[in-house]
Structure 1
Amino acid sequence: MKILVTGSNGLVGSYVVQQLLEEGHQVFATSRTDDRSAFKNPRYRFVQMDFTDPYALDAAFEAIQPDVVVHSGAMSKPDDCETDQQEAYKINTVGTVQLLLNAAACESFFIFLSTDFVFNGKEGMHKESDPADPISYYGRTKLEAEEAVQEYGYPWAIVRTVFVYGKPLYGRDCFVTMIAKKLRNQEPYKVVNDQERTPTYAGDLAKGIAAIIEKKVTGIFHLCGADVLSPYGMAMKAAAYLGMEAPLLEPVATASLKALARRPLKSGLDISRAKEVLGYAPLSFSEGLAKTLGN
């Protein structure tokens, strides 16, 4: 199949591209910036494209005619979304609508990457059917994009995920690799200890998306890890894996950081549907940590 992937220079996008190439698909990776990958696969093509530009989208879709679109591109830093709400809305909501319009012309299967931040985090371990109630602007833009996807006239799937980590194939660090660098450099760092998350190994997420494509299943899926951890708990597990003391990692309450965007405190997701329908079987956090920090 011909599959177009947005946000291919990001952590999620890069793992999705790699997984789809391994499964034999023809992959058209797209990003606003130059190709940062080192893929040497004859079925790999890179197209520099800003998905908020309708003219660029028209040209790309006319040339590619994708069978599947995996939309992982986003403005994903919650504080940045609070600071520049106009840009966040343009990228996360309007950009998704533009992609949907072009995908419809090709009758593409549309897969949208969303977030646990569409929930308020009061209860935790949210199911796909739980009512959304975002408490940040980032969450609102992603929820509005979800609503647009659900009105798409052809097959679609929404994938919500949580706190993705993994060894960067290229590009910037994830939380775990950033913490590892701070530990090695003996840098002080404050890490929140009152948020419950179900961190997601990027390779698991990519396999789950590939399974959705292979099985041609539709609807909303929660794809994340099974372990419930705070960011501080993740950081301490990283320190233990590296065999290092972590006296400079300071556990703090979310409120003390005075972040611009509110974070859901209990944002874990229930993955029962993904296990049943997709055969989704995520690694434990310890296993994912070894893949992220191991040689």
Structure 2
Amino acid sequence: MAKRILITGSNGLLGQKLVALLRTQPEIEVVASSRGANKLATLYPDVRFVPLDVTDAAQVTQVLSDVNPSHLIHTAAMTNVDECELNRAACWQQNVTAVENLVAVCEVLAVHLIHVSTDFVFSGNAGPLAEDALPAPVNYYGESKMAAEQVVQVATCPWSIVRTVLVYGVAHDYGRTNIVLWVRDSLRAHTPIKVVDDQLRTPTLAEDLAQGCWLVAQQNATGIFHISGDELLTPYDMALRVADFFGLDKQLITKVNSDTFTQPARRPPRTGFIISKARRILGYQPHSFEEGMRLLAQQLGEIQQTG
């Protein structure tokens, strides 16, 4: 059956990867939406775009009623962890109020809501984590995302929650960096960097996360799914691998503890996901970290430099 899928936050890293993936699928009509101007207009002129501020309840009602999607993949969020700690009202509005707005309309229109969440809903005392682990966030970003999950879980429309971990990749006209690009760019500039070795994550290629969201929509799967890579690594491990992959100087990387940095928000020390449910139910298969870096390098037109 044909599906019409509305994406919120289409200018973001995941949003861009979803638009790129879904526009190539047969019998799928993808509609992109974002609060700002459409960054993908020149890349994908064939994709319909509608402006949407998800914190504006009236606009949410108008746009969803007009588009009438079968599925909504909600990627828009305030994700800068320290900014969320410092600007709590804005964080709550963008991460919780927005979800309340979307749920209210999805219930009326019977839209399948696919909500993207995070490993930061967990305390980080134990990992990797399965879907039934109990949330216990240690920062305000995590609190807001947990509250949003609770809103989704009592919705009367079909719903799915896709949690993910430390997403990396490259996007068009995108100001934010991620661990792979930050390490590569720093070492290329011969800038010494300090990288923590007391946190554990399962880093996630943005394309894999988009694929996971698409598999959920394609199969009308409901419930909670953990979608990430399957290699449990510290950021220091990742930095060494980035240096090796791009042929850069590992001597510039210093191993440190989290308490080296003064950050407004605490980080959960150990997360990472067990992805066996997504493999079994959805057929999800992530790239390895090396394969992810190779894809990233290809997209940047640099693969010839890395063998």
Contact preservation (8 Å) 1:196, 1:230: yes
Residues 75-224 of structure 1 aligned to structure 2 (within 5 Å)? 75-172=78-175, 173-224=177-228
1-structure distance, mates of 2:76, 2:155: 18
Contact preservation (8 Å) 1:104, 1:153: yes
2-structure distance, mates of 1:188, 1:34: 36
Match of 2:18 in 1: 16
2-structure distance, mates of 1:4, 1:174: 26
Unaligned runs of 5+ in 1: none
1:62 Cα deviation after fit: 2.0
Q: How far does the alpha carbon of each residue in 1:205-245 deviate from its partner, in whole angstroms, 9 at most, with x for none?
A: 11111111111110000000001111121111111111111
SS of alignment partner, residue 23 of structure 2? helix
1:39 Cα deviation after fit: 3.2
Unaligned runs of 5+ in 2: 302-307
2:182 counterpart letter in structure 1: M
Contact preservation (8 Å) 1:177, 1:292: no
Q: Which segment drifts farther, 76-85 or 184-193?
A: 184-193
1:55 Cα deviation after fit: 2.0
Contact preservation (8 Å) 2:39, 2:172: no
Residues 3-42 of structure 1 aligned to structure 2 (within 5 Å)? 3-24=5-26, 25-37=28-40, 38-40=42-44, 42=46
Q: How far does the alpha carbon of each residue in 1:97-134 deviate from its partner, in whole angstroms, 9 at most, with x for none?
A: 11111222211000000000011011111110111111
Give 1:70's match in structure 2, choosing from 66, 70, 73.
Answer: 73
Contact preservation (8 Å) 1:168, 1:174: no
1-structure distance, mates of 2:32, 2:54: 12
1:89 Cα deviation after fit: 0.6
SS of alignment partner, residue 286 of structure 1? helix
2-structure distance, mates of 1:229, 1:95: 33
1:41 Cα deviation after fit: 5.2
Q: Work out the number of aligned pairs and report it.
A: 294
Contact preservation (8 Å) 1:121, 1:267: yes
Residues 275-290 of structure 1 aligned to structure 2 (within 5 Å)? 275-290=279-294
2-structure distance, mates of 1:28, 1:259: 37
Tell me the TM-score normalised to structure 2 length. Answer: 0.93
Give 1:56's match in structure 2, choosing from 54, 59, 68.
Answer: 59
Contact preservation (8 Å) 1:194, 1:253: yes
Contact preservation (8 Å) 1:167, 1:291: no
Match of 2:267 in 1: 263
| CA RMSD in angstroms, aligned pairs only | 1.2
Q: How far does the alpha carbon of each residue in 1:150-186 deviate from its partner, in whole angstroms, 9 at most, with x for none?
A: 1110111000000001122441333211221111111
2-structure distance, mates of 1:34, 1:249: 38
SS of alignment partner, residue 103 of structure 1? helix
SS of alignment partner, residue 29 of structure 1? strand
Match of 2:4 in 1: 2
Contact preservation (8 Å) 1:78, 1:138: yes
SS of alignment partner, residue 250 of structure 2? coil
